[in-house]
Chains A and B, each alone.
Chain A
Amino acid sequence: MATTETAPPAATQPPADTPLRIRRVTAEGTLTLFGAAAGALALDWVLYERVLPFTGVLGFWVSWYAAFLLLYTGMAALQWDQLAVRDKVASVALSTGGILATAIVIDQVAYTLVRGSAAVKHPSFVTQSMAREGPLSPLGVGGVGHALVGTLEQITLATLFSVPLGIAAAVFLSEVGGRMARPVRTIVDAMTALPDIIAGLFILAFLILTVGLPKSGFAASLALAVTMLPIVTRASETVLRIVPGTLREASYALGGSQWRTVLNVVLPTARSGLATAVVLAIARGIGETAPVLLVAGYARGLNWNAFANWQTSLPLYIFYEIQLPQINEKIRAFGGGFVLVILVLVLFTIARRVGGAAPGQLTRRQRRRIARQSITRERTGS
C-alpha cells in the first residue's frame, strides 16, 4: 500500500503548466530566413551577372528579391504546414516594406549630402550669391547666400500668413463645429493634396496679372501660404481634438466664456502639438518649388527686400542650377540640396522633440517646476 502511494506512475501525472511562448525566435526560422537570402544572392549572382545578359544595379536587387521570396516559400513549405507558410511569407514580405522605406529615405538624404559636400566645403558657398559667377567659375566662386536669404524671408512671411489663419480654422473645426464643419474639413483635406503648381498659378493669375504687383518674394510667400494653410489646419485639428473634454468643461464650470476657454485652456494644453503642426508645415513649405517657380522670378544676386524685385529661394536655385550643362553647376545644385536637406532635417527634429508629448502631458522639467512651486507655496503660505 505504501509503495503505491509514494510512487505514482510518472506518465499519468498531468504535465506542469508552462506558458506557451507565442513569439519565439527559433533556430529553424532564423536559419531559413538567412539561408533563403544567401541562396538567392548566390543564385542571382550566377544567373544575373554571369549567365543571363542583364545589367543594372536595380534589376539585380529586384531579381534577388524575387528569388529570395521563391526560395523562402519553398524552404518554408518543406518544414511547416500551409497556414504557417502563408504567415511566414506574409510577415517577411511586409517587413521588406519597412526596410525599403528606411533604405530609400537614408539613400536620398545621404546621396544629397555626399554629392553636395563638394560644394559646401567651400565656406563661401553659404555666403556668396551667384552675382559674380560665370559658367566656368570654380566652385569657390558663387553660392547659395542669396537663395538662403530668400528662403528664410519667404518662409517667415508665409508662416505669418498661414499659421494664424490655419490654427483659427482648426479651432473652428474642433470648438465651434456645426453644419459647416464637415464641408470645411473636406475642402481642407482636398487642399492638402492640391497640386503645388496650382498655388503658384493662382497667385500669378490673381496678384501679378490682375492686381498688377511685380514678381517678388512676397508673391512667392503668398503662394507658399496657400500650400501651407491646409497642412497647418489639418495637423492642428487632430491635436485639438484630443484635448480632453473635461478640461473644457472645468473651464466652463468655473464660468469661463468660450474664447477664454479656448485661449487659456485648449490652446495652451495643445501647445506642443500645435508647435509640431507649425514646424511640419514650415518644413513642407521650405522645400516647395512649384508655387515659387511662377511668381518669385529668378535672381542671381542678393535681394534683401522681399517686397520688391525678384528673389530666389533654395528649391528654385536647385531647379535652375541642375538644368545647366556644366558639372560645377550641377555640384552647386547638390550643394543647395545639402543646405535644404539640413534645414528640413533640423526643422523635422525640432518638430519631433517638441511634439513628442500628448496634450496635457508635461515634460520632466515642467513637472519639476510645478513641484518646486507647490513646495515654495506650502512653505510661505500658512
Chain B
Amino acid sequence: MPSETHTRVMPAVPEDAPRVIVAQPSTGDKIFRGILRASGWSVFVITGLILVFLVLRALKAFKFMGAAFLTTQAWVIQSPQHFGIAAILPMGILIALIAMVIAVPTGIAIALYISEYAPATLRRPLIALIDLMAAIPSIIYGLWGLLFLEPRILGFDSWLGRHLGFIPVFHFRLSSSLAANYANSTFIAGVVVSLMVIPIITSLSRQVFSQAPQGEREGAYALGSTRWGMVRTVVLPFGRAGVIGATMLGLGRALGETIAVTLIITPVFHFNYHVLEGGAPLGGGNSIAATIALDFQSFPNAGSMGLSALMAAGLVLFAMTLIVNMLGAIVISRSRSGLATAD
C-alpha cells in the first residue's frame, strides 16, 4: 500500500487502473459459442476424416506398388496386378489445362462485360444466368457435351488435326481423316469442363472487379482514358489477385470433375498428350476421377486390391485439389483483406 509508506494529502484515493471493458460471457453464451466453434471445427474434422480413411483404405495398394505407384503407366487390377497414376494423373491435368486455357479468358471477359460494359438493366439477369450456369448439374453438361457438342465440334477438331498437326499437341497419328476418330477425345472433355469452370471464374472475378475503387475509375476517365483504357489500367490491376485466386479455384474444380469427363472420354492408361485423339484405335483421355467412376463397380468386396488402388488414386487427387484450392482460397482472402483496409 503506497499510502502507508508515503505521506500524501489525500491518502484514500486509489490508483487509476484501466477498467475491464470485456464483459464476461454468460453461461448461455459460453455454451452457444462452444456449439458454434464445434460447428466451425467440423469442417476440419471432415477434411481430416476424409484424409484418414482414404489413407487407411489406400495402404494396401501403396504397400503393394510402393513408389512405383507414382511412376507406373498402367491400371491392371487382375493379377499380375500392375497399376499407377503416372498416366491418369497427367491426363487429368491435361483436361484441366485445356479447360483453363478456354475458361480463363472467357470467364474474365464475361466478368468484365457484366461489371463494366453491360447496361444496368442487364446486370442482374446476367449474374443470375452465371449462377444458373453453375447450378446446372454436371450430368447435364455431360449429356450435352456427348450428344450435342461432340457431333458439332468434330469438324473443327479434324481441321485442327490436319492444319495445325505440326504442333505436337494437335498431332493426330492416324492418317484417316474420319471425323469419328476424333470423338471422345481429351480436347472435347476439356471444352466441356471449361464450360463448368467459366461460372466459377466469372462470379469470383466479377465480385473483385466490381469493387475497384470508384475514385480511380473516375480519375482515369478524367485523364481522358477510354473505357477500355480505364479497364486496363484500373480494374484489371486491381482485380489481379482475385482473378488468380478464382483461376486456382476453377482449376481445382476442373481437376476433380468426374461425370462429364467419364461420359465423354474413351479411357486410356498410358500418357497420351495428343489431345485430339479419341475413338476406337487410339483411345482418348482419362483422369483419376473418371477411373474411379468407371472402375469401382468391378470391385464389390471390401478387401480387394482394386478398391484399394482406387482409394490410393483418390487420395492423390484429394491431396492435389486440396492444395490447389487452399492456395486459391488464400490468394482470394488476401485480396479481400486488402480491400478491407483500402475502404
Contacts and interface: CB of A to CB of B under 8 A. Distances in A.
Contacts of B46: 191, 226, 229
B289 interface: yes
A192 B255 CA distance: 13
Contact of A186 (B152, B158, B326): B326
Interface of A, secondary structure class, is helix
Contact of B33 (A87, A188, A258): A258
B325 A87 contact: no
Given A93-B109, A293-B293, A337-B140, A195 B317 contact: yes
A194 B137 contact: no
B88 interface: no
Given A54-B155, A87-B228, A348 B37 contact: no
A294 B46 CA distance: 18
A176 B36 contact: yes
A340 B329 contact: no
Given A176-B40, A186-B329, A348 B139 contact: no
A289 interface: yes
Interface residues of B, number: 104
B91 interface: no
A201 to B, nearest CB: 4
Given A195-B258, A289-B137, A176 B56 contact: no
Contacts of B252: 190, 193-194
Nearest to B303: A209
* Candidate in B49, B132, B198 with the most chain A CB atoms within 10 angstroms: B132
A322 interface: yes
Contacts of A83: 226, 229
Contacts of B255: 195
A319 B143 CA distance: 9
A194 B256 contact: yes
A79 interface: no
Contacts of A319: 139, 142, 259, 263
Given A109-B136, A262-B32, A294-B296, A195 B263 contact: no
Contacts of B256: 193-198
A108 B329 contact: no
Nearest to B92: A195
Nearest to B108: A97
Interface of B, secondary structure class, is helix
Contact of A334 (B39, B143, B159, B229): B143
Nearest to A318: B139
A226 B43 CA distance: 9
* Candidate in A62, A87, A91, A101 with the most chain B CB atoms within 10 angstroms: A101
Interface stretch (B122-130, B167-175, B274-282): B122-130
Interface in B255-278: 255-259, 263
Given A58-B155, A197-B314, A289-B258, A101 B228 contact: no
B139 A169 contact: no
A182 B340 CA distance: 15
A98 B117 CA distance: 10
B114 interface: yes
A206 B198 contact: no
A202 B53 contact: yes
A62 B156 contact: yes
Contacts of A202: 49-50, 53-54
A352 B147 CA distance: 30
A100 B135 contact: no
Contacts of B157: 56
A171 interface: yes
A54 B229 CA distance: 38
Given A172-B40, A190-B325, A196-B258, A348 B228 contact: no
Contact of A191 (B47, B139, B155): B47
A108 B134 CA distance: 12
Contacts of B116: 94
Contacts of A56: 152-159, 179
B155 A337 contact: no
B140 A287 contact: yes
Interface residues on A, range: 35 or more
Contacts of B158: 55-56
A180 interface: yes
B143 A322 contact: yes
A189 interface: yes
A107 interface: yes
B40 A184 contact: yes
Given A98-B118, A189-B329, A344 B148 contact: no
A348 B132 contact: yes
Given A56-B159, A111-B148, A322-B143, A284 B135 contact: yes
Nearest to B107: A97
B181 interface: no
Interface string A229-263: 11001000000000000000000000001110010
A283 B155 CA distance: 35
A288 B259 CA distance: 9
A197 B321 contact: no
Contact of A258 (B25, B159, B179, B317): B25
A219 interface: no
Given A83-B226, A187-B43, A229-B46, A280 B129 contact: no
Contacts of A233: 43
B144 interface: yes
B263 to A, nearest CB: 7
B236 to A, nearest CB: 11
Interface of A: 54-59, 62, 83-84, 86-87, 90-91, 93-98, 100-102, 104-105, 107-109, 111-112, 115, 165, 168-169, 171-173, 175-176, 180-198, 201-202, 204-206, 208-210, 226, 229-230, 233, 257-259, 262, 280, 283-284, 286-290, 293-294, 315, 318-319, 322-323, 330, 333-334, 337, 340-341, 344-345, 347-348, 352
Given A111-B148, A189-B329, A202-B53, 13 more contacts: A86-B228, A93-B109, A95-B113, A98-B110, A183-B44, A190-B326, A193-B328, A194-B321, A229-B46, A284-B134, A319-B263, A330-B147, A341-B136
Please provide the 3 A-B residue pairs with the shortest distance between their CB atoms, ordered closest to farther.
A56-B155, A287-B137, A195-B256
18 contacts: A59-B159, A94-B109, A101-B129, A108-B148, A169-B42, A181-B40, A184-B40, A190-B325, A191-B47, A195-B256, A196-B259, A209-B307, A226-B46, A258-B25, A287-B139, A289-B137, A319-B259, A348-B135
